[in-house]
Amino acid sequence: MQLRSYRILLRKEPEGGYTVTVPSLPGCVTYGETVEEAVEMAREAIELYLESLASSSTE
């Protein structure tokens, strides 16, 4: 398995929680109630995004 790093941006929302975007993966956006949850959700979103790209390239 290849190790990759992605920069994430967290934006504190006025109603609470954090929106997370991954600039190098267009459309990869998620949300978490806390910074820790937002980072974990970002890991999951990146993984799913990359799986989706891999499956669409094999079709």
The per-residue pLDDT for range 4-55, each reduced to its tens digit, is 899 999 999 999 999 999 999 999 999 999 999 999 999 999 999 999 998 8
Q: CB within 8 A of 18, min separation 6: which ones?
A: 10, 11, 12, 31, 32, 33, 34, 35, 38
Taking Cα atoms as reference points, which of 3, 8, 11, 4 lies closest to residue 22?
Answer: 8
Alpha-carbon distance 26 to 44, whole Å?
15
pLDDT confidence of residue 11? 98
pLDDT confidence of residue 25? 97
* pTM of the entire predicted model: 0.86
